[in-house]
Structure formats: structure tokens, C-alpha cells
A and B are shown apart, each in its own frame.
Chain A
């Protein structure tokens, strides 16, 4: 069909940060379909130069409010790798509990507040307060518990306080953790099961679109990888996080203040769907039951299903948090001091799965413990090329729809990735051209 189409969505809403969607078709030939990232650059890598290892995580957590815990922990892992700081099992367990809390918080926020309004034809969650009050209250309750995990274990869910190099500046009380466990089982688990029912009802509105791509996530020998592991590509298998630069291959495009990334193909996918595709076998039966109920199958190539994979992970995070608290109780909480005595200086790399995908921090320290060089590679940045490739395939498939429908499909596509643009520019808009 020979059609001219010009779509420009300026400052796309319900995403973190500033981006535009630009689609340009002339005489039926798609000339341009991309996500233009217009968030002002922040230059964190430059700000980190000369900063002490005590400050690195404090600064990098400020890359993003939504992902602050992920940045903080990944920063700490990089610093500990560089300075040879050993950490205890208790520290690892408390960090994993924090990652579950942050993942639950972020996935629930995205599914209910940012993505669900599209399925119900409203512009935000606020009209849903009148029409679906019990659902909104349930979402708020789940978010509150997830944030309480952050507040209790890390002092503050947004920009955590207690996770420091080598451990924690304060250890939570036993009674506080047991109260979290009680609420996980009595509140979050039933709410999680209700969430599956709600999402099942909305799943019919998820666009049917598939594009098989390369899926990259961490992989851990013993568990569904969120904290540490090896890099795993669905195309070529595992490699050490120390070789992350071979995977990310960042490059600059002029329509984005955030750098793009590619590995074995022109683009790759990171985030909940990549984790699901690569590591679903390591999820428990409850998470698998949730996936089956919502129609998510292993090796899913529909990017819109990322939101559903996030809900499956929410179920996993609730149950695994209980397991972690049980293990902490078994070990007995110890009032450990953080280990902050460097045994070496040099380069260290940290990588964790944060809600939006695999994150890398890479620091080089001088022999006073100050940063010489820093590099942070952000999940949303890694997804940008994949989003552009999705758009190039999607637009011709839906070209017979109205401009409004096409725009909505594109907006929903970008939102499905749950992009975090502040992060990626350490940075969304839609532009149609007809």
C-alpha cells in the first residue's frame, strides 16, 4: 500500500525519562521508525573521576530513582571486585532480599500504573481509582510492602542508605524481617495471585506481534539469576561478566543521547522477557503456574509480553524473599561491620539483573581508592536498538490501521520494555510523519 505516514510523539508519557517516537513513511516505504532519546545527558562517568570508593555507590545510585537500588548494589559489587573486599553470606542474602523488593516494586508499578491503563483505554491510573478501586488498592498495597522491604533493610527504598562497600552500615532487626515475612505470606501472596487473575483478563488486549531476537541476561548455576552470575546469550551461550564489553559494543546514533548496543545481531533484548527465555527452568512451580495462566510460554518472541514476564517474576520475588528470610533466621542475624579494608587496587566489574535487564558497572581505582575511570552500561540503553528493530518490523504489519491505532501500538511497544531513560542517558517521545 502506498501510504505516507508521519508520526511524532513528543515526550512519551508513562515512562521514566524523555523520549520521542518518530515514524516516517513515504509512498509506502518505511524510511524511519525509531525511538529518539532526548533526555539531557548527565555525564556520570565524568563526575565519578577522582571520587572515593566510599562515595561511588552514593553517586551512581543517583543515576536513577526507580533503579537506585540496582545501581547501588552493582556499584558495590564492582568496587568490591576492584578492591578485593570479601563479603559475608549474610550480606549476599540481605542484598538478594533487597533486589527482590526492588524488582517487585518496579514490576508492579509498571504492570499496574504504566502499562495497564493502555489495556483499559485510559490515560493513567487515576481514572481507575473510580472504576477499579480494589485493583488500585491492591497495587498500592503490593508496592507498599515492596518499598517497606527497601525501607527496613536499606534505610530508604529510593536511594538506599545502608548498603555500603563490604556490607551494611546497619543490620535490620530480626523482628522487622519476621514481620516482612508475615506480610509476604499473608498480604503479598494472595495479592500476587489476584494480580495474575487481573492480568489474565487484560492479556487479550496485548498485541500479537513476534520478532525473534537475541536474548541476553545473567545466568546463575543455582538460581534464577538476579544477583550476580555469568552473562548468557540465547545465540552463543555464556561468558564471564569480565568480558562484558565484547557483548555490549556500545555505539552512538544521532537520534539518541543514550548509546545503543549490539552483540551477535543488529540488536538484543534485555529485561524480564530475556530472563524468562533464558532462565525459566529455574523458576518454581508457582511462577510457572502464573506464566501458564497468563499465556506466557518458554521462548516467547512477543516483546509486549515483557509485562507478563514481570508479573511472573513478582510471584517469584515474593516466594523467594520468604526463603531468604528463613535462611537468614537459620544463620542467626549477626551485627557485622562492613569490610572496608582494600586488599588490592585496580579494575573491578559488577553485574546484576535489575528490573529492566542486565546492568554493568566498571570502575578502575588508583592506589588511594579513588576512581580513575568509570563506565556504566544500562539495560534501557541496551534495549534501544532492539526497540528500533521491532518498530521497523511492526509498522508495515499494522500499516492498514488508523494513525491513532498505529501510534498507540508503538507507544505500548515502547512502554512494554519499561524503559528507564534517565538511566540510559544516564534517558522517550513518539514522532509520526505522514
Chain B
């Protein structure tokens, strides 16, 4: 029997899910090997049990906490998709400000109308078996994981920084071009897509296992930005991971 897979969205932009609808060339082939039993953004059907549940988005409200527990109970394998699910992503930037101030900025006097929690990674609440990093996750990365799971193999792991992939593409270092880039401490697997298109690495795939934070800050500040600015850049996608 084909594996029964489902997609769920929590607090996010749904861009990772959209990237799956963007498998224009491969979508029909993928459907030969898996049954999509739940995917609210694209279909009405609902199911009781899933072999693989793909989770996009962060956990940011009491209802999110309940829903993710319910999904975890009903699935065999749970995969976090994209940086919001993996480590909180950009959502976690709100955790850097006092929660009351955050609510007041957006809803003013009605700040207590809607319940909110600090933005959390899915793994902060339930067990996550696998993850696909990135903002957005890349289609290739997702496909590699899906193929591995369907074949019963281990999906690839990425241990080296974006810098390595950037060098392999023979890009000129963005620091030489007057930019400040997080490539040295950011987990690779993206094929250095941003530097290859002339834009600095924002750190969207999260940090390496043992990042040299102080060294990175030194490099950044020696290239013309303040320590404050350097820290902010580092926190963009890693507010839940870096203690500064």
C-alpha cells in the first residue's frame, strides 16, 4: 500500500506548502508513490491516521499546542518543514520583545482579544522525527526526504556551512563585495542560492552544530556594521537558538 501522507499548516506563510503545489513537473509522478490524504490548502478530504505528517509553521497559540498533539497521536512519522517549524523562524523575532508590547503594537487596546504564546519550534512541543530546513524549504530538499522515507532509507543530513557550497559554486565572497553574510555559521543544503544571486545569506537554515558565534560577530563588525546590527542580523532566523 502507498504511504498515506498529510500536510498541516501552523503559524507560517504557507510558502513551503505552496512549494509543493509548485512541483509542476513532478507532481503526477509523486502521486504514483504516495496518497495525499489531507492537505487543507488544496483539498477537502480529511483522514484519521497518517503514515507521514508534514508540519509547516510555528506553534504560537494554545490551539496550536492542542492541534499538534492531536496530529502527533495520529501519525507514525512527523516531519517539520521549513524554518518556522524547525526553529521558530522569523516568527520567533517577536520573542525578542516583551509580549505585551508586541500585542499592543498590532491590536492596541484590544491586545487581549486573541491568545498568543512565544513562537516555538514544533520540536519544543512534540517529538519531531525529521526536518527539512530553509525559508522556504527547497523542492529538491523535500523530494530527497520524501524519496528516502518512501524507500525506507535515512534522509540526507547537512553538516557543513553555506560557505562550503558557495565556494564550490565559485562565487566571489560577498564580504569582498561589501556585504555582511551569515554563510560561515549557517547550515548548508541550499546550494548557496542567495549568494549565488548576489544576496547575503540570512541564516534561514539555522545554525551549524557548533557555530563560532563570537568569531562571526568579529568578522561582521570588522566589515563595517555595529555589534548591535550584527546581532540583529544573526537573530533574524535564529531568535530561539542564539543567546546574545
Q: Which residues of chain A have C-beta atoms less than 8 A from B24's C-beta?
A: 140-141, 143-144, 147
Determine if B116 and A41 form an interchain contact, defined as CB atoms under 8 angstroms apart: yes
- Please give the distance in Å from A421's CB to the nearest CB on chain B: 9
Q: Are B105 and A113 touching (Cβ within 8 A)?
A: no
CA of A11 to CA of B63, assembled, Å: 13
- Which segment, of B8-16, B143-151, B158-166, B213-221, faces chain A? B8-16
- Chain A residues with Cβ below 8 Å from B199 are 155, 161-162, 164, 169-170
Contact of A113 among B31, B42, B89 (CB under 8 A): B42
Whether the Cβ atoms of A129 and B114 lie closer than 8 Å is no
Q: How far is the CA of A323 from the CA of B102 in the complex (A)?
A: 45
> Distance (Å) between the CB of A349 and the closest chain B CB?
19
Would you mind naming 30 contact pairs between A and B with Cβ atoms under 8 Å apart?
A: A14-B42, A14-B44, A38-B63, A40-B114, A41-B106, A43-B102, A43-B116, A46-B105, A47-B90, A47-B91, A52-B233, A62-B13, A62-B89, A62-B90, A65-B16, A66-B18, A113-B21, A113-B42, A140-B25, A140-B27, A143-B21, A144-B25, A155-B193, A161-B193, A161-B197, A168-B198, A169-B198, A170-B199, A252-B108, A254-B113
Kindly identify, within residues 113 to 166 of chain A, every residue whose CB is under 8 Å from any CB belonging to chain B. 113-114, 117, 123-126, 129, 140-141, 143-144, 147, 155-159, 161-162, 164
Question: A46-B94, A140-B24 given as contacts; is B136 within 8 A of A158 (CB)?
Answer: yes
* Interface residue from B39, B60, B63, B136 paired with A42 (Cβ < 8 Å): B60
| Interchain nearest-CB distance for B24 vs A (Å) | 4
Please report the C-alpha to C-alpha distance between residue A66 and residue B17 in the assembled complex, in whole angstroms.
10
Q: Are B114 and A41 in contact, CB atoms less than 8 angstroms apart?
A: yes
> Which residues of B sit under 8 angstroms from A64, Cβ to Cβ?
13-15
Q: Given known contacts A49-B97, A52-B232, A144-B24, is B41 in contact with A252 (CB within 8 Å)?
A: no
Whether the pair B42, A65 counts as a contact (CB closer than 8 A) is: no
Q: Contacts A42-B91, A124-B43, A162-B198; is A52 near B15 (CB within 8 Å)?
A: no
Residues of A participating in the B interface, judged by any CB pair closer than 8 Å: 11, 13-18, 38-43, 45-47, 49-52, 55, 58-59, 62-66, 68, 109, 113-114, 117, 123-126, 129, 140-141, 143-144, 147, 155-159, 161-162, 164, 168-170, 252, 254, 257, 422
B60 touches A40 (CB 8 A): yes
Show the binding face of B for A, using Cβ within 8 Å.
Answer: 9-19, 21-22, 24-25, 27-28, 31, 36, 39-45, 60-61, 63-64, 89-91, 93-94, 97, 101-103, 105-108, 110, 113-114, 116, 135-136, 193-194, 196-199, 202, 229, 232-233, 236
In the bound assembly, the distance between CA atoms of A62 and B113 in angstroms comes to: 24
B114 touches A63 (CB 8 A): no
Contact of A43 among B12, B27, B40, B94 (CB under 8 A): B94
Q: Please count the residue pairs between chain A and chain B whose beta carbons lie under 8 angstroms apart in the complex.
A: 168
Q: A65-B17, A169-B198 are in contact. List 8 more A-B contacts (CB 8 A).
A: A14-B43, A18-B9, A40-B64, A52-B232, A62-B90, A155-B194, A156-B193, A252-B113
Most chain A CB atoms below 10 A, which of B22, B102, B196, B202: B22
User: Looking across the interface, which residue of chain B has its beta carbon closest to that of A71?
Assistant: B13
Q: Do B14 and A16 touch across chains, with their CB atoms under 8 A apart?
A: yes
Q: Which of A64, A143, A147, A169 has the most CB of B within 10 A?
A: A169
Contact B43 A13 (CB under 8 A): yes
The 5 closest A-B pairs by CB, nearest first: A65-B15, A124-B43, A123-B44, A169-B198, A155-B197
- The distance in angstroms between the C-alpha atoms of A161 and B97, with both chains bound, is 27
* CB <8 Å contact, A51 and B11: no
Which chain B residues lie closer than 8 Å to A170 at the CB level? 197-199
Nearest CB on A from B219, distance (A): 17
The answer to whether A42 touches B197 (Cβ under 8 A) is no
CB of B19 within 8 A of CB of A65, answer yes
In the complex formed, the residue of B with least CB distance to A47 is B93
Which residue on A lies nearest to B43, using beta carbons?
Answer: A124
**Given A43-B106, A62-B135, A140-B27, A55-B94 contact (CB < 8 Å):** no
Contact of B106 among A13, A39, A46 (CB under 8 A): A46
Chain B residues in 8 Å Cβ range of A40? 10-11, 60-61, 63-64, 114, 116
Closest residue of chain A to B114 (Cβ to Cβ) is: A257
**Docked CA distance A254–B112 (Å):** 11
B92 to chain A minimum Cβ distance, whole angstroms, is: 9
**Contacts A41-B114, A161-B194 known; A58 to B40 CB distance under 8 Å?**
no
Give the CA-CA distance A169 to B236 in the complex, in Å.
Answer: 20
What residues of B have a CB within 8 angstroms of the CB of A157 in the complex?
22
